[in-house]
């Protein structure tokens, strides 16, 4: 199979879909690997690293899309990339379709087969291709949130760890999954007073067992959430219902109950955001103010630490990329129900129920699609 990897074109996105190590493995499996020139540079990989791994360098994204049977990327395809997709081609990348009707319609129109990293599952109920980027974004959240809390950035002017005689910042994390756990650990490590809210009692039990000395837990009832948010200096939004649009957990009216200059970091923004006032921002212009509350809503946070993120993502995607290339997408998905859960679009049909529900589009069962 010909596997193509274009340079990412989303603003300030420096990750790349294939590392030289992944390219080397694919070549060892008998595949041809096509890399757009400069695709890896932002993550510290030169064209020569790829040619030494046995890949071929092409001059343009158009050439990569035209020749490749499968495109491996990081971010959801941008409008220009969507025009280059074609029937029969496989796209393997993050998609986040539920909050993105335009992208969904373009992918359906392309006729391509689109497998979303974020809905591939594993045996333990996890999301193995989302987890590494959630670990990164979770660790970044208190870092960017503490920067936003600084006075010059519109924040409250509160230091995360406080100083002797002055208490620490209060940080509330809503959603105690991968992002939430990492965010809570880093915020606690910075000396903040941290509480993690989750709907799942099983998850709260686990967090309490593992991290009781570092942070507190609370059930994410509306009342608890409202009380804690009103006292918070920083709130991190980290909830997920896989593949679905994020539930809105803080309304605009609630902002008036918060401390002026408090900070909302909405990591769940890639699924539409979990605060009513969230709208996606970029690394170029990451923060904005609504009613005196500072919002940070960058939808590709891990792009800021592109080298760490690229290597972590590549470690996770490699076995799935190789299965898709070795067996073809249909057989690979038939053999692995977890990979089949990643199938969101095939030949003009939507195949993921939570996306169909969010966008009001009919869904065809992925099991039916692989039998056809």
Instruction: Catalog residues that contact ligand NAI under the rule CB under 6 A.
Output: 118, 127, 130, 133-134, 137, 174-180, 197-200, 203, 220, 238-241, 246-247, 249, 267-271, 299-302
The sign of the torsion formed by the CA atoms of 325, 331, 336, 338 equals positive
Q: Please, where are the H alpha helices in 222-365?
A: 222-231, 252-255, 306-327, 329-335, 337-340, 353-359
> Among 133, 141, 174, 304, which residue sits at the site for ligand PYR (rule: CB under 6 A)?
133
Burial (CB count within 10 angstroms: exposed 0-12, middle 13-18, buried 19+), residue 208: middle
89 or 300: whose CB is closer to ligand NAI?
A: 300
> Among 89, 103, 300, 351, which residue sits at the site for ligand PYR (rule: CB under 6 A)?
300
Token pair listed for 132 = 């590494």
Give catalytic status of residue 31 as yes or no.
Answer: no
311 or 347: whose CB is closer to Mg ion?
A: 311
145 or 273: whose CB is closer to Mg ion?
A: 273
Q: How far is CA 3 from CA 30, 71, 343, in A?
A: 11, 6, 18
Q: 106, 82 in Cβ contact below 8 A?
A: yes
Tell me the DSSP string of 140-194: HHHHHHHHHTSGGGTS----TT-BTTBPPPEEEEE--SHHHHHHHHHHHHTT-EE
Does residue 64 interact with ligand PYR by CB under 6 A? no
Instruction: Catalog residues that contact Mg ion under the rule CB under 5 A.
Output: 270, 299-300
> Among 168, 243, 302, 314, which residue sits at the site for ligand PYR (rule: CB under 6 A)?
302
Give catalytic status of residue 105 as yes or no.
Answer: no
Least distance to ligand NAI, CB of residue 282, Å = 11
Among candidate residues 106, 193, 233, 270, the one labeled active-site is 270
Does residue 119 interact with ligand PYR by CB under 6 A? no
| Partner from ligand PYR, Mg ion, ligand NAI, none binding residue 240, C-beta < 5-8 Å depending on class | ligand NAI
CA gyration radius, the chain: 21
Does residue 92 interact with ligand PYR by CB under 6 A? no
Q: What does the alpha-carbon distance between residue 287 and residue 289 come to, in Å, rounded to a whole number?
A: 7
Q: What does the alpha-carbon distance between residue 93 and residue 77 come to, in Å, rounded to a whole number?
A: 8
Among candidate residues 96, 266, 336, 346, the one labeled active-site is 96
160 or 304: whose CB is closer to ligand PYR?
A: 304
Closest CA to 131 of 190, 181, 179: 179
215 or 320: whose CB is closer to ligand PYR?
A: 320
Q: What residues are annotated to the active site?
A: 96, 270
Binding site residues, ligand PYR, CB under 6 A: 75, 94, 118, 130, 133, 270, 300, 302
């Amino acid at each position: 199979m010909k596997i193509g990897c274009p340079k990412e074109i989303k603003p300030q996105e420096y990750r790349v879909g294939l590392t030289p190590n992944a390219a080397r493995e694919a070549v060892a499996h008998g595949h041809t690997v096509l890399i757009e020139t400069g695709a890896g540079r932002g993550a510290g990989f030169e064209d020569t690293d790829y040619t030494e791994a046995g890949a071929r360098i092409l001059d343009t994204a158009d050439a990569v899309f035209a020749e490749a049977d499968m495109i491996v990327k990081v971010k959801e395809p941008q409008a220009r990339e969507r025009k280059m997709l074609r029937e029969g081609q496989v796209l393997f990348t993050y998609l986040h379709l539920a909050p993105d009707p335009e992208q969904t319609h373009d992918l359906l129109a392309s006729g391509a087969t689109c497998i979303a990293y974020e809905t591939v599952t594993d045996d333990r109920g996890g999301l193995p291709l989302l987890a590494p980027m959630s670990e990164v974004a979770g660790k970044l959240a208190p870092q960017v949130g503490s920067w936003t809390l600084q006075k010059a950035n519109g924040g409250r002017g509160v230091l995360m760890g406080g100083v002797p005689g002055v208490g620490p910042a209060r940080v509330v994390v809503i959603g105690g999954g991968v992002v939430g756990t990492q965010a809570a650990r880093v915020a606690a490590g910075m000396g903040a007073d941290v509480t993690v809210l989750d709907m799942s009692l099983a998850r709260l039990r686990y967090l309490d067992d593992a991290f009781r000395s570092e942070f507190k837990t609370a059930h994410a009832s509306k009342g608890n959430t409202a009380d804690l948010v009103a006292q918070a200096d920083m709130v991190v939004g980290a909830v997920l219902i896989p593949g679905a649009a994020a539930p809105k957990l803080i309304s605009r009216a609630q902002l008036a109950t918060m401390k002026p200059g408090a900070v909302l970091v909405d990591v769940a923004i890639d699924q539409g955001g979990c605060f009513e006032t969230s709208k996606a921002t970029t690394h170029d212009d990451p923060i904005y103010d609504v009613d005196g509350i500072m919002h940070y809503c960058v939808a590709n946070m891990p792009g800021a630490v592109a080298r760490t993120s690229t290597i972590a993502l590549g470690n996770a995607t490699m076995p799935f990329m190789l299965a898709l290339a070795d067996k073809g997408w249909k057989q690979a998905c038939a053999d692995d129900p977890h990979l089949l859960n990643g199938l969101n679009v095939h030949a003009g049909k939507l195949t993921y129920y939570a996306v169909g529900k969010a966008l009001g589009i009919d869904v065809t069962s992925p099991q039916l699609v692989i039998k056809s």
